[in-house]
A and B are shown apart, each in its own frame.
Chain A
Amino acid sequence: MYNFQLSEERRQFQEMARKFAEKEVKPLNDKFDDDWETHRIMPQVLKKAAELGFMGLTIDPKYGGTGADGMTIMAVLEELAAVNGGVACVIGDTWFAQTPIIIAANEEQRERFLRPLASRDEVNLGCICMTEPASGADIEDSRMRLRTVKTIIKEDGDDYIINGVKIWPSNAGIASHYVVIATTDPKLEDKGSCIIVVEKDRPGLSFGKIERKMGMPEDQNREVIFEDVRVPKNNLLGKIGDGHKILQTTVAYNRLGAGMISVGMARGAFEYALKYCKDRVVGGKPLIKHSLISAMFADMATKIDAARLLVYRASWSLRVRDPNRARYSDMAKVFPTNMAMEVTSNCVQVMGSYGYSKEYPVEKYMRDAKIVQIYLGPNELVQQLIGESL
């Protein structure tokens, strides 16, 4: 039914992403934790990533991007995450923010927004602003039809004026384009919903403190505050009332990305722990020769593969517009993210105290893996959506 073999072209993209991650990211891996607030290291990494065309991977060559297909994007994401999940997240989240523009923008908007976002000369990140202080998972819950959104846009001549607060968006404060889920009136539910692009230099746009987190220090999360931010009407994607629909499609295209980041992180931890257990001798033989440890690795290898296949299936289903594509994408979020938490935790376990030590890389994979169960719809919500779709 499906052919998941990577074509030679995709393999080249995968190889390129692996080289980038090994050469430009891996040597910095133990420095990101101390840089969570100063954020001095990521700009260097992102500059190199932009030069190589990572930012425009999902964007049509017509607007200066590469226009890679879903399977290629997933293969690239896995390689980045296998070295550093946070870096994969930052780049993945800029693709996430590009999605509503790719889906719903008109020709003029695509030229105006996508071309700078695909730039190789400067780093232009996207930031999708969804979650609000009083509305977390509700915004990601299709059944709520955006009725809890409190970020309001009001018409004023040729402009819209935006007021509201978004919390937790990735790339906040460093992004060039903010893609904002808003409403004209929450009571109108999806009929008042909209998505509007706000450029970084608009007066009234400001940011809260940088959040200190358990993992993924590479990814900068801050409040994004809109105080009478005036943007021209032609920054609106589609029309008023389209927001809910655009967001649902955007989420379907990106939940599997969270799944693939999890596959990459699990693989990164797994490969390190496996090598360790082949070398480390306990009780007169390498750890891997102990049957309980060997069984753990067999289980981990199987689950990583299963998760990857779920992601590829979801990617395929989106390409062919399979009627079950939203469910497949949800499945490709829940299983891989839970799997990554389990696998990275087991990798710490099999390495004993060394696994727990910051001198070794696996504890970071474990800390990073936790958030992916939470963002882009907490797994419990997404599971509920899967259940209801059956």
Chain B
Amino acid sequence: MDIVVCIKQVPETNDIGWDPKTGTLIRESTGGILNPNDKNAIEAALQLREKHGGLITAISMGPPQAEDALREALGMGADKAILLSDRQFAGADTLSTSYALSLALKKIVRFDLILCGKESSDGMTAQVGPQLAELLNLPQLTNATEIIINSNSVRIKQKLEDGFRILKTHLPVLITVEREMNQPRIPPMDSIMEAYREKDVLVWSVGNLGGDKERIGLKGSPTQSRKVYTKIVKKGEITLLEGEPDKVARELIQILKQRDLL
């Protein structure tokens, strides 16, 4: 079973800059790490490969330094890595990113399963996975905390706000993975070394992908940030209620009512 895992390099800290003109993040100025949720997707792929065999390809779109995230995926155990990198991709929103990824997936041709982390730690839109599934016309199973594959059928346990449900479909499929699905493995030393010394990261540009240039990068991004600002949180006073639980609860209800909060 061949698996493609879509990963993203995200800024290492919260101390990130914004481009005031485009409203997009300035990624070049910060250190990058592999999006933590994408590690769960890679781990899920590794566990499925242990059971069912096949190849794992990690794919990412980003500036040249996003290669580091792909090397980390190779270190964890991915077999191949592809980086979509071209200045024309710059400023892409989730739709444009999904479009570029869909072109790359069509070029890869052979895959049974696409895995994505549910969301990135910077954008947190959780849109790329579902959009990619739509563009490839694949069934999508989102927010998975468990994946079971039996022959051609796929079953997941989907996390909902108030519980779980079991969903079933068939391969090929796109699945987005929740963080609680697994504990990403610590890559062994020799695997890290191999990722840097023996494995390659293929770089594909816009020219390699073909497709509609109008749908690439900032031009192909309907999401335009009008204004970017840091929300100022006003800190109020803290009142500690002490005493018997029943009495404190009554007092709390009273206060909330007085302030029209209940």
Binding site for B on A (CB under 8 A): 8-9, 12-13, 16, 19-20, 23, 51-54, 56-57, 61, 65-68, 120
Contact = CB atoms under 8 A, between A and B. Distances in A.
Given A9-B196, A67-B193, A16 B71 contact: no
Interface of B: 68, 71-72, 75, 186-190, 192-193, 195-196
A51 B190 CA distance: 11
B186 A53 contact: no
Contacts of A120: 188
A57 B68 contact: no
A53 B188 contact: yes
Nearest to B74: A12
Chain B contact residues, majority secondary structure: helix
Contacts of B196: 8-9, 12
Contacts of B72: 12
Contacts of B192: 9, 12-13, 16, 66
B71 A54 contact: no
A383 B133 CA distance: 66
A13 B190 CA distance: 10
Contacts of B189: 13, 16, 52-54, 56-57, 66, 68
Nearest to A11: B68
Contacts of A65: 190
Contacts of A61: 190, 193
Contacts of A9: 71, 192-193, 196
A8 B70 CA distance: 12
21 contacts: A8-B68, A8-B196, A9-B192, A9-B193, A12-B71, A12-B75, A12-B192, A12-B195, A13-B192, A16-B75, A16-B189, A16-B192, A19-B186, A52-B186, A52-B187, A53-B188, A56-B190, A61-B190, A61-B193, A66-B192, A66-B193
Nearest to A57: B189
Contacts of B186: 16, 19-20, 23, 52
Which 3 residue pairs spanning A and B have beta carbons closest together?
A53-B189, A9-B196, A66-B189
Given A16-B189, A16-B192, 11 more contacts: A12-B75, A12-B196, A13-B192, A16-B186, A19-B186, A20-B186, A52-B189, A53-B189, A56-B189, A65-B190, A66-B189
A67 to B, nearest CB: 7
Contacts of B75: 12, 16
B63 to A, nearest CB: 14
B187 A66 contact: no
A65 B192 CA distance: 12
A53 B71 contact: no
B193 A16 contact: no
B70 to A, nearest CB: 11
Contacts of A57: 189
A280 to B, nearest CB: 18
B107 to A, nearest CB: 27
Nearest to A18: B186
Contacts of A54: 189
Nearest to A48: B186
B59 to A, nearest CB: 19
A8 B190 contact: no
B50 to A, nearest CB: 15
Nearest to B187: A16
Contacts of B71: 8-9, 12
Contacts of A13: 189, 192
B74 to A, nearest CB: 10
Contact of A68 (B68, B187, B193, B195): B193
A19 B75 CA distance: 14
A12 B70 CA distance: 12
A66 B190 contact: yes
A12 B187 CA distance: 9
A17 to B, nearest CB: 9
A66 B75 CA distance: 13
